[in-house]
């Protein structure tokens, strides 16, 4: 609020100053073409263009003009662009947040008539890939078609898994990867791993298990906590990762960028003839729709220098239980040890609607404890990736632990019911403690010997 008030005050002074210097050269009006468009290209158009997740395009003057006041309000309050990492533990390569100067430019433009200026001042349009892709895929694999009903009981659609052929007939290095749903509004997530082909493989056949659920759609029965499953199912608690054969766990969640390993001279090696095990989770939105997801890859002719591994490990463990009305529940810890030298390249905190904050720590072999990502105000609507500006070198023997807090009080406006105890589960009204991350390893390191999972052992606060 203070910042907002100050900005208004500042703009007021500028307006007064400007009115007295109308004839001087310093009176360079803020225009769309010259000052605002470069900011939108760099920080906004990745989402605000046709076919992407944002509700309106900010590509041309005509697109953007009606939103001038709203843009000012959203950038001044720092709701746009969405970015939640505490800058004290950065910097990040993909940080889209605006500088104070850029915020002031947009505010001044909105306050001074939101003019276009001379189109000749405009930078060349960004050459975005066609058909809504973020990458320009060399190979496109058809995902399973799924009819999402308009409504179901409590809006539950269970997670569904399909096997589909990858189409790779020889060992292939993929250098970027994108999962592209056709109906973003109903897609909660789509994740997949590469798995070895089995002769009895049946392609595009849905597989799911119906959980018994109570009146609010919360899974019941079958152990404590009930229906506790890993996102993705392959690398859950107690299971050592590595059952997949192609660099780990790949996901689409709303807001997440495509995976691009090229800037790190890295890739994932996909063995010939491998199948894809893909899992989809949809949320009905009142209108029957059919989603036809596609998976796109770019491929390399020669092996890149490094291998990329993505981990979808979940924490929390059997004791995870948020009491009713608890505003600051601390999850049992997540912890693992790196058994090879790695470089950390990205983080993606994932929790559900009661998620409040998440912090990733490294404890180096010399005992030093370093925070590598802190998201102090988690927002379930934004599943963002955070990529450190420089990869973080992690020597063998380093431990990683992650702390997550949850708000099950009435003050959490996304909370569907503060009166109940919340366990881990698959639906957004159940919870999840999933600190996803990606690492680079040298090509000669065995990808199955990179991490050892902890047993959710309690870690002291001072660790
Ligand atoms: C990661 C994707 C993403 C980026 C980057 C992004 N936006 Fe958005 N924006 C969205 C989505 C999705 C919505 C709609 C949901 C919401 O309002 O939270 C939205 C909403 C908005 C709205 C409100 C629209 C309304 O209906 O009232 C404005 C204004 C806006 N964005 C401006 C910007 C500007 C300006 C930038 C860059 C400085 C930007 N956004 C960057 C995804 C993004």
Judged against a pLDDT cut of 70, whether residue 307 lies above it is answered with yes
pLDDT at residue 219, rounded to an integer: 66
Burial class (CB in 10 A: 0-12, 13-18, 19+), 297: buried
Check residue 186 and give its pLDDT. 87
Which residue, by CA, sits nearest to atom 7 of ligand 1? 81
Q: What is the pLDDT of residue 18?
A: 42
Number of alpha carbons in the 13 Å side-chain half-sphere of residue 134 = 20
Q: Residue 79: is its pLDDT beyond 50?
A: yes
Q: Distance, CA 289 to ligand 1 centroid (Å)?
A: 24
Nearest alpha carbon, ligand 1 atom 10 = 54
380-407 per-position pLDDT tens digit: 888 889 999 999 999 999 999 999 999 9
294 contacts: CB under 8 Å, gap ≥ 6: 140, 141, 142, 143, 179, 180, 182
Q: Prior bond to 81 cis, omega within 30?
A: yes
pLDDT value at 236 more than 70 = no
Nearest-atom number in ligand 1 for the CA of 46 is: 5
Which position has the higher pLDDT, 219 or 73? 73
pLDDT, mean of residues 260-271: 93
Measured between alpha carbons, how far is residue 270 from residues 87, 130, 247, 248, 309 in Å? 36, 26, 8, 11, 12
Q: Which residue's alpha carbon is nearest to atom 42 within ligand 1?
A: 54
Q: Considering only CA atoms, which residue is closest to atom 15 of ligand 1? A: 54
How far apart are the CA of 54 and the centre of ligand 1, in A?
Answer: 6
CA dist., res. 391 & res. 344, Å (int): 6
Distance from residue 75's CA to the centre of ligand 1 (Å): 9
Contact 345, 440 (CB under 8 A): yes
pLDDT-derived band at 209 (thresholds 50, 70, 90) equals low
CB 81 near ligand 1, within 6 Å? yes
Atom of ligand 1 nearest to the CA of 81: 41
Closest ligand 1 atom to 384 CA? 1
Domains and CATH numbers, the chain: 2-125 (no CATH), 131-453 (2.60.120.230)
Ligand 1 neighbour 47 (Cβ under 6 A): yes
Helices (H), 21-144: 37-43, 61-64, 68-76, 100-111
| The pLDDT of residue 226 | 35
Residue 21 pLDDT > 60: no
Please give the C-alpha separations between residue 359 and each of 91, 93, 276, 343, in angstroms, as whole numbers.
Answer: 15, 18, 32, 18
Whether residue 80 has its Cβ less than 6 Å from ligand 1: yes
Whether ligand 1 lies within 6 angstroms of the CB of 54 is answered as yes
The residue to mutate among 81, 95, 98, 382, having the most atoms of ligand 1 within 8 angstroms of its beta carbon, is 81
Question: What are the pLDDT digits (tens) for 168-206?
Answer: 999 999 999 999 998 888 888 898 989 999 888 899 998
Residue 460 has pLDDT above 60, yes or no: no
For 261, phi then psi, to 5°, come to: -95, -5
User: Bigger pLDDT: 159 or 100?
Assistant: 100
Is the C-beta atom of 59 inside 6 A of ligand 1? Answer: no
Which of ligand 1's atoms lies nearest the C-alpha of 53? 12
Residue 292 pLDDT: 95
In contact, 170 and 270? CB cutoff 8 Å:
no
Q: Ligand 1, residue 381: give the atom nearest the CA.
A: 18
Is residue 252 within 8 A of residue 181, CB to CB? The reply is yes
Q: Which SS3 state, helix, strand or coil, does residue 355 take? A: strand
Confidence label for 321 from pLDDT (cuts 50, 70 and 90): very high
CA distance 339 to 240: 13
3-state DSSP assignment of residue 134: coil
* Tens-digit pLDDT profile for residues 87-98: 999 899 999 899
| Residue of 40, 44, 69, 94 to test ligand 1 pocket, by largest number of atoms within 8 Å of CB | 44
What is the Cα–Cα distance from 231 to 311, expressed in whole angstroms? 11
CA angle 371, 233, 271 (to 5 degrees): 95
- Separation between Cα atoms, residue 395 and residue 447, nearest integer Å: 16
Segment 204-214 mean pLDDT:
73
- How far away, in angstroms, is 48 Cα from ligand 1 center? 7
Angle at 461 between CA 459 and CA 463, to 5 degrees: 65
Q: Whose CA is nearest to atom 19 of ligand 1?
A: 54
- Residue with the bigger pLDDT between 5 and 424: it is 424
Q: Choose from 58-67, 126-135, 161-170, 434-443 the range with maximum mean pLDDT.
A: 58-67
Could you tell me if the CB of 74 is within 6 A of ligand 1? Answer: yes
Q: Does the C-beta of 70 come closer than 6 Å to ligand 1?
A: yes
Q: Which pLDDT score is estimated for 215?
A: 67
pLDDT reading at 208 higher than 60: yes
In this prediction, residue 210 carries a pLDDT of: 60
The tens digit of pLDDT for each residue in 330-376 reads 998 888 999 999 999 999 999 999 999 999 999 999 999 999 999 99
Atom of ligand 1 at shortest distance to CA of 255?
1
d(C-alpha 177, C-alpha 136), whole Å: 10
CA 337, 339, 345, 350 torsion: positive or negative? negative
Nearest CA owner, ligand 1 atom 9: 54
Contact 355, 408 (CB under 8 A): no
Q: How far is residue 316 from each of residues 186, 220, 456, measured CA to CA in Å?
A: 27, 18, 7
Q: What is the pLDDT of residue 211?
A: 61
């Amino acid at each position: 609020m203070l910042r907002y008030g100050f900005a208004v005050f500042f703009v007021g002074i500028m307006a007064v100053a400007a009115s007295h210097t109308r004839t001087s050269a310093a009176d360079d009006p803020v225009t769309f073409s010259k000052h605002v468009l470069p900011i939108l290209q760099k920080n906004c158009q990745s989402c605000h263009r046709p076919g992407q997740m944002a509700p309106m395009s900010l590509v041309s003057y005509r697109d953007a003009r009606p939103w001038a006041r709203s843009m000012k309000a959203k950038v001044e309050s720092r709701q746009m662009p969405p970015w939640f990492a505490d800058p004290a533990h950065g910097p990040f390569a993909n940080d889209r947040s605006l500088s104070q100067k850029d915020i002031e430019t947009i505010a001044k433009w909105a306050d001074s008539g939101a003019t276009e200026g001379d189109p000749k001042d405009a930078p060349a349009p960004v050459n975005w890939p066609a058909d809504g892709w973020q990458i320009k895929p060399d190979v496109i694999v058809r995902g399973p078609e799924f009819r999402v009903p308009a409504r179901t009981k409590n809006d539950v659609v269970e997670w569904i898994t399909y096997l589909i052929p990858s189409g790779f007939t020889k060992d292939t290095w993929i250098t970027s990867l994108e999962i592209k749903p056709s109906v973003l509004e109903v897609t909660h997530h789509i994740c997949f791993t590469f798995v070895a082909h089995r002769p009895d493989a049946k392609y595009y056949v849905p597989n799911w298990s119906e959980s018994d659920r109570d009146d609010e759609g919360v899974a019941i029965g079958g152990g404590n906590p009930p229906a506790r499953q890993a996102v993705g199912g392959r690398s859950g608690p107690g299971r050592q990762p590595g059952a997949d054969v192609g660099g780990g766990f790949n996901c689409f969640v709303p807001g997440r960028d495509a995976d691009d390993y090229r800037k790190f001279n890295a890739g994932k090696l996909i063995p010939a003839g491998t199948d894809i095990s893909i899992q989809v989770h949809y949320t009905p939105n009142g209108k029957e729709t059919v989603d036809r997801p596609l998976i796109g890859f770019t491929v390399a002719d020669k092996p890149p220098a490094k291998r990329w591994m993505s981990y979808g490990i979940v924490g929390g463990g059997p004791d995870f239980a948020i009491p009713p009305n608890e505003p600051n529940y601390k999850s049992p810890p997540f912890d693992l040890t790196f058994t090879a030298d790695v470089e950390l390249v990205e983080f993606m905190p994932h929790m559900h609607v009661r998620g409040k904050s998440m912090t990733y720590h490294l404890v180096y072999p010399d005992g030093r404890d370093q925070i590598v990502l802190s998201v102090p105000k988690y927002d379930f609507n934004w599943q963002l990736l955070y990529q450190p500006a420089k990869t973080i070198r992690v020597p063998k023997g380093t431990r990683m632990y992650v702390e997550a807090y949850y708000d099950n009080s009435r003050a959490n406006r996304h909370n569907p019911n503060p009166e109940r105890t919340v366990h881990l589960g698959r639906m957004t009204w159940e919870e999840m403690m999933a600190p996803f991350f990606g690492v680079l390893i040298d090509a000669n390191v065995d990808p199955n010997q990179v991490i050892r999972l902890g047993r959710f052992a309690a870690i002291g606060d001072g660790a």
